[in-house]
Amino acid sequence: MTDVELRVEALSLSGVSAIPPEYVRPEEERTDLGDALELGRTASEDTTRIPVVDISAFDDDQGDGRGACVEAVREAAADWGVMHIAGHGLPDDVVDRLRAAGEAFFALPIAEKEAYANDPAAGRLQGYGSKLAANASGKREWEDYLFHLVYPDHLADHSLWPANPPEYVPVSRDFGGRVRSLASKLLAILSLGLGLPEETLERRLKGHEQGVDDDLLLQLKINYYPRCPRPDLAVGVEAHTDVSVLSFILHNGVPGLQVHHAGRWVTARSEPGTIIVHVGDALEILTNGRYTSVLHRGLVSRDAVRVSWVVFCEPPPESVLLQPVPELLANGAGKPLFAPRTFKQHVQRKVFKKQQDQQDDDTAAASNGIIAK
């Protein structure tokens, strides 16, 4: 099988009316699955909604706006682990150019995109790829993607950044720098929400207390979800929490994000002018569970191609030890819920757990006379 045949886009363009069995999710995962467009429309009628928070007031030192902003972000991060952020400071034209560049790349012929193909089996995770069955369920996800480091620029491997369209590199570089500034602002707000000085979380993530000063890393992943004939059986991205500190999400106007809240799946509404922000595992560890790493998944559509841009804000992989901030445990305030680990160790543990879960499923299937593929 050629690389082109492995791409979900090629499968979608072939005109199949059914999806191969490796894309069909287990029965227990199909609760509230459906067409992203249809569920996006009904989400507008749902009274349970992901919070929308305007952070522009944080820059105002006068009045009560700053305190109200901190409390709104704190509440959303603690209760939901996700929020739509308005007043984020990302100019509309910058966001529009980013979307246009990403969509232009995925509009290229598959064979041309293959010049940037990754090779996860060889440890090359960055580049153009498709998610194969390296997940807990052993099932494939209905997406192709482009993944690479976007900040800091001097650490990025620019050979993995598309040369076509030519504006991709400058637009992505500009966007990465702007999101880095937004990450600092949100970490300051989240620190204050814990009753800590506003520099606390970022200093911890950069290793100041451990004698280092490594910058945060921003990874960009453009998810391309082709049309799918059975959106009630497939997912673009399976249910998971992000390993990051924070994740920033834009999309092409086609809804599809679902988050798990209060025992049910909630479909994100379209909130023009906002950017979605997730709390990730690393922030949950630092805050000893005060802020929640949100379980979420991505839907697909029968009639529309969905594209999302996700920036994962991560701590340095090995130089910083992730552990609950000591001030949150002081004076008997609580016991640490997480053992210390580096970010790299956390990722490895999570990958190992997925592999172990899959092995357990395979063993159970074999004991029932089923051959698990």
Residue closest to 220 by CA, chosen among 311, 145, 155, 307 = 311
Q: Sorting pLDDT into bands at 50, 70 and 90, what band is 169?
A: very high
Q: Above 90 in pLDDT, residue 373? A: no
Tens of pLDDT, residues 315-350: 999 999 999 999 999 877 789 999 999 999 999 998
Q: Domain residues of the chain, as ranges? A: 3-365
Please write the tens of the pLDDT for every residue from 183-201.
Answer: 999 999 999 999 999 999 9
Task: Determine the pLDDT at residue 5.
Answer: 54
Cα separation of the two ends of the chain: 17
Residue type, 236: G
Any bridge partners for residue 311, and if so which? Answer: 220, 248
Is residue 95 over pLDDT 90? yes
Query: What is the residue whose two structure tokens read 């799946």?
Result: 265
Amino acid residing at 278? H
Per CATH, which fold does 3-365 belong to?
Jelly Rolls (2.60.120)
Closest CA to 236 of 125, 310, 176: 310
Active-site residue among 54, 208, 214, 240?
240
Residue that is written with structure tokens 């099988």 in the block: 1
Question: What is the rounded average pLDDT for all residues in the chain?
Answer: 90
- Amino acid 362: pLDDT: 41
113 catalytic residue (yes or no): no
Residue 242 falls in the annotated catalytic set? yes
The catalytic position among 88, 206, 296, 346 is 296
| Rounded alpha-carbon distances, angstroms, from residue 170 to 81, 94, 167, 183 | 32, 11, 6, 20
Clarify whether 296 is annotated catalytic.
yes
- As to burial, measured by CB atoms within 10 angstroms (0-12 exposed, 13-18 middle, 19+ buried), residue 17 is exposed
Question: Is 131 labeled as catalytic in the residue annotation?
Answer: no
Any idea which of 123-137, 192-206, 264-278 has the lowest mean pLDDT? Answer: 123-137
Q: What percent of the chain has pLDDT over 90?
A: 80
Q: 249 with 35: CB under 8 angstroms?
A: no
The per-residue pLDDT for 351 is 78
Active-site residue (options: 84, 131, 221, 261): 221
pLDDT value, residue 60: 83
Catalytic residue among 242, 251, 260, 278: 242
